[in-house]
Amino acid sequence: MISLKFLESIFLKILKQVQENNISKVSWLTIEISNRLLDEGKEEENQNQNQNQNQNQNQNQNQNENQNQNQNENENENENENQNQNQNQNENQNENQNENQNQNQNQNQNQNKNQNENENQNENQNENQNENQNKNFLKDPQKYFPRYPFKPYYKHIIYSLKLWEEKNEFPYKFIPFKNIPEIQERYQEIAKLTNKVKELFINQNQNKNQNEKENENENQNQNENENENENQNQNQNKNQNEKENQIENEKENQNQNQNQNQNQNQNQNQNQNENQNENQNQNQNQIENEKENQKENQLISLLNSLGIDGVRTLLQLRITLSSIYNIFPPTIQELFHSFNAPFITQKMIQKEKARKERLAKTLENLGKKNIKIEKPKKQPVQLSVGARALAKHYSRSEKSWWLQGKLRGSTEAQNKIAEECLIKILKDLSWVNIHLLPIVNGNQKSEMNTFEIRNSEEYGARWNLSESPIVFHGFLEPQEGPNFFFKNENQNEKQNQNQNQNQNQNQN
């Protein structure tokens, strides 16, 4: 059987040929598509890791600043206490005792403050550790979400072909959704390529190698028989020479001649063996090259037969009338990064600008006065884009699929609830598609490159791929009817036609 690594290396060779020479034997394979198939997604993972590290660093800096401020305050208090002690040395002993008592009380208060601050720091650290443990799925998404396509996509495609060969049928069962039209005929055409897939994994050079080994074994047996006959003849000659004591000199000469002949024969045999080994190595290299060329041609033929839409089905993407074929799915990290991004409106941006302007004015008014402006100890948690979308959407579900009751709790709690809803969809992933989504704003119509996922109950989520980086677009209920968006467009057109007719009648 042909191994996965061998086929991956051939596919990699085909993709790199396109990148380097811009020449492809696969009809649909362009430089853009080959780049996306080769993309390993490590840069996106590193960006997310760096962002998390920066957040942790900022938290640590804020904690250190708070500690330094508290230390400075304690030092100032101690200096003031020492001054009071020096001034009051000449006073009565009773007053000194009272002062000492006050000092002890202040020290105890300071110690309690420091203990409370340390406890708060420990709580913050524990919260960060819990968040990191909960987000292990971002480090190994293939383990937590096995139905989601993983990068690099060319490896996922070869892996799906291997499953196809093992199952002797197309490896994935696409559950049809009632109200979402798919091109079922294309699925049937793709499923007919099972024989081509099986041929790709069959090593047709195995029979040749077996026949060559059998011939080698026969030649070895013949050589062994010849050697045995030679040994028998030598033994007979030795016996005769022992009986004939009179011709010792001749025997010696004969033995010498025989030794020389044997040495010559041995040298000849060694040379023959070396030549045989060289020929075998050359034959093996030729066989490997033939095998590689043969499998490369078979893979090219299969990729041409599958087409770009068929290759996308190996990544478990669906085929609809509005599907886009030259765009591939974003990574799990990108999905969650856009989902957990802070929700910001124009009003919020204007308020932040106004706040900064007021702060700048106060600093100007203060001038050279030594007045410290303390920073907040902990920045407030901001509502995520996903949580905002859930707050607007969850009440639309008749079955209360998203939430039991109302979305309540702190901002942080609402963000976690929203993230759990997205995880719930991804764990039961049954639909993945990249398609054009019609958007109607009044009389203006446009289309958006949309990434859409749904679970087995047809609840899902969408992302806008027309933006960079991608933007979370919202949650989805089960589709209401076939061609729902196009129905709305037709209804709007009919309304406009009716309005025009009424205007014409009024004019008449």
User: C-alpha distances in angstroms, 319 versus 145, 159, 435, 464, 485?
Assistant: 21, 20, 9, 19, 17
pLDDT of residue 490: 44
Confidence label for 485 from pLDDT (cuts 50, 70 and 90): very low
Whole-angstrom Cα distance, residue 357 to residue 410? 29
The 3-class secondary structure across 449-476, one letter per residue, is EEEEEEECCCCEEEEECCCCCCEEEEEE
Two tokens at 33? 């598509």
pLDDT (0 to 100) of residue 385: 96
CA distance linking residue 427 with residue 195, whole number of Å: 32
Question: What pLDDT is recorded for position 399?
Answer: 84
Which among 157, 485, 481, 484 has a CA at the least distance from the CA of 317? 157
pLDDT of residue 94: 61
Q: Which residue has the tokens 């096995």?
A: 146
Long-range contacts of 67-70 (CB under 8 A, 24+ apart): 67/117, 69/372, 69/374, 70/113, 70/114, 70/117
pTM over 0.75: no
Q: Is the predicted pLDDT of residue 487 greater than 50, yes or no? A: no
pLDDT for residue 492 = 45
Q: Is the omega angle on the peptide bond into residue 469 within 30 degrees of 0, that is, cis?
A: yes
Q: What is the pLDDT, as a whole number, of residue 300? A: 95
pLDDT digits (tens, 9 = 90+) for 304-350: 999 999 999 999 999 999 999 999 999 999 999 999 999 987 777 77
Q: Is the pLDDT of residue 293 over 80?
A: yes
Strands 471-476 and 460-464: antiparallel
Which residues make beta-bridge pairs with 35? none
Report pLDDT digits (tens) over 212-253. 555 566 666 666 766 676 766 666 666 666 666 667 777 777
- pLDDT at residue 239 in the model: 65
DSSP state of 246: G
Taking residues 260-276, report their average pLDDT.
77
pLDDT at 345: 76
User: What amino acid occupies position 481?
Assistant: G
Q: What is the pLDDT of residue 491?
A: 44
Average pLDDT, the chain: 78
Residue 203's pLDDT is: 79
* CA 195 to each of CA 156, 159, 160, 166, 278: distance values in angstroms, whole numbers, following the listed order: 20, 17, 15, 12, 37
Q: What is the CA radius of gyration of the chain?
A: 40
Q: What pLDDT score does 351 carry?
A: 77
Min mean pLDDT across 2-6, 123-127, 192-196, 425-429 is at 123-127
Q: What is the rounded distance in angstroms from the CA atom of residue 55 to the CA atom of residue 135?
A: 15
Q: How far apart are CA 128 and CA 319, in angstroms?
A: 42
Q: Residue for token digits 């040994």?
A: 231
How high is the pLDDT of residue 489? 40
Residues in the chain: 508
CA 380 from centre of chain: 31
